[in-house]
Amino acid sequence: MTPARRLSVLGVVAALAGTLTAVPATAQPSAATRPPGAVPAGLRAATPPKVPVATGYGGAVASVDADASAAGIEVLRKGGNAVDAAVATAAALGVTEPYSAGVGGGGYFVSYDAKSRTVRTLDGRETAPLSADSGLFLENGKPIPAAEAITSGLSVGTPGTPATWDTALDRWGTRSLREVLKPAQKLARDGFTVDATFRAQTAANEARFRDFPASARLFLPGGELPVVGSTLKNPDLARTYEELGDQGVDTLYHGKLGKDVLRTVQHPPVRPGAERKVRPGDLTEKDLGEYEVRSQAPTKTRYRGLDVYGMAPSSSGGTSIAEALNILERGDLSKLSEKDYLHRYIEASRIAFADRGRWVGDPEFEDVPTRGLTSQRFADSRACLIKDDAVLTSPLAPGDPWDPQPCEAGGRAAPTTYEGENTTHLTVADKWGNVVAYTLTIEQTGGSGIVVPGRGFLLNNELTDFSFAPADPAVHDPNLPGPGKRPRSSMSPTVVLQGGRPVLALGSPGGATIITTVLQSLLNHLDRGMPLVDAIAAPRASQRNAAATELEPGLWDSPVRAQLEAIGHRFTRNPEIGAATGVQRLPDGRWLAAAEKVRRGGGSAMVVRPGR
């Protein structure tokens, strides 16, 4: 039985059995098959089982981690709503997925309110210091080395995650921040079980972590990589959560926690004798004190009679997915061969990314044509570029959403800039029908690599999502740094409604591949008829206005690759793209939670009361 099949079966069994309690491992791998650094199963700490799909009543949670999903379920069981549970899940991910998200980062929160049948969003993206300008990452007129930007105080933006939690709970939640942080606080204090993914991510960051004593102390216990199956505790983060619960988020934006963050950014605590060049940042008390979460209207488009809501700029996720869906709606994807379906999906993605790169930035600084980018008129003007027997050339030039011209292919093309790939996404629903799709991040895997001493969390390096310099000096780049500006993101928390009621919600990590992951998962489910968990598990292709499209092994090794290459497509192999989660409202009133079967070690889908 394949790992994917085994996980799928386990998901069904767990859903039918109605258990979310921890179970001890009964099969102990031999020394030959045990993962590197593993300890015998009998020594592993108890943890909830990971299953990729669950159905039942009372609400649902899907995330990449079983402990985090269980934290959300605990809040739902105690009468909290989807917003309360989303914050609890996110806080727990700050413990078990600290290289992807946490107090030191930011994100985008999309919430559906069942009572008013409306979708609301919060932009909790990090912001550049007020002292920043377009030359933030330039030295002598040239971009500084990427490694020096990634691991630095220079790349740290004002964190938006605590403010997002506080704002969401204050406006739409039913529980206090103190209450919803308790499961994560306990998890940080008591510890979580290290898995192979966590160990591998730690190994990838080992050299960086060793240059920062606080990072090494937390993530390299005893000076060594954490052992698979061991328990990793984070008492500093437990105390930080307790402080946030007792004092509120003002401790970050106006108080003691903020002072600790600023000290770390301005004077990175590098190990004596380290050879790494670690540049200081320029965050100040004013930057923290003036930070605000933005409330804004979601993007919206109609697709196959459904209303698809997403995150508006500063994220490019909502506009890009809406444009691609609008491009594809004129054809019936359900009747196409796999080759023809993938061809159209790839070309629509290519076009959407060409337009994203030219037009999307922080709307407080840039005149972003959000309405034009999401209009059917603009999509139609771009869709006619797609030919069934030929492939568009990248980098493709953008169109003009202010003045759409049919099949316009003029203008100057610009390549897609780099965007960090390690983020996390969670999706929650409650018994009242409220839904949350929440994507949060610290950017790079491991963020800046710098743990705030005594605080137990990594600082983001989110400002590296800005363009260091214009991709083309002759074309305006809407994603250059600026004072208090938010870098462009690809995070794509998405909610789909029919007649004002939820059909499904989903999202993914993966940097710029988030957009294509969410888009392809939607198409797999809505057009190709795959169950949601299978739509998420299906092998992915990601085209981002590049010369070659990235393929996961399932497509790379498939005959369809040669069929697509025959009409001009070029491909590169990517072992893993994204790690989506979603929830779906079933016709009989149950919720279905879906997560990855294999990617990132598999995800965790849970419901409050499992049932057929």
The pLDDT tens digits for 256-284 are 999 999 999 999 999 999 999 999 999 99
Q: How confident is the model at residue 2 (pLDDT cuts 50, 70, 90)?
A: very low
Check pLDDT > 50 for residue 51. yes
Which of the two residues, 466 and 28, has the higher pLDDT score? Answer: 466
Task: Specify the amino acid at residue 78.
Answer: K
Nearest CA-CA partner of 87 in 239, 193, 245, 232: 245
pTM of the model: 0.92
Looking at per-residue pLDDT, the higher value among 470 and 531 belongs to 531
Mean pLDDT of the chain: 91
Helices (H), 18-96: 66-77, 82-96
Give me the CATH code for the 3-102+119-294+418-610 domain, please.
3.60.20.40
What are the E-state strand segments in 499-566? 501-507, 541-542, 549-551
Percent of the chain with pLDDT over 90: 87
Active site residues: 423
What is the per-residue pLDDT across 344-355, written as a single tens digit (0 to 9) for each? 999 999 999 999
Nearest Cα to 184, choosing from 306, 65, 38, 338? Answer: 65
Residue 166 has pLDDT above 60, yes or no: yes
Signed CA dihedral, 234, 237, 242, 245: sign only:
negative
- How would residue 19 be classed by pLDDT, with cut points 50, 70 and 90? very low
Q: How far is CA 405 from CA 81, 329, 400, 413, 445, in A?
A: 46, 19, 8, 17, 41
Give the mean pLDDT of 517-539.
98
**Over residues 536-546, mean pLDDT:** 97
Pairing of strands 581-585, 571-573: unpaired
For the ranges 16-30, 86-100, 539-553, which has the lowest average pLDDT? 16-30
pLDDT surpassing 60 at residue 357: yes
- Give 586: exposed, middle or buried? Use CB within 10 Å, 0-12, 13-18, 19+: exposed
Separation of alpha carbons 93 and 66, rounded Å? 10
Question: Which pair of tokens denotes residue 532?
Answer: 């949601």
Cβ(253)–Cβ(288) below 8 Å: yes
- Where would I find the H helices in 222-279? 235-247, 250-253, 256-266
Mean pLDDT of 61-86: 98
Over residues 370-381, mean pLDDT: 97
Environment class of 271 (CB within 10 Å of its CB; exposed 0-12, middle 13-18, buried 19+): middle
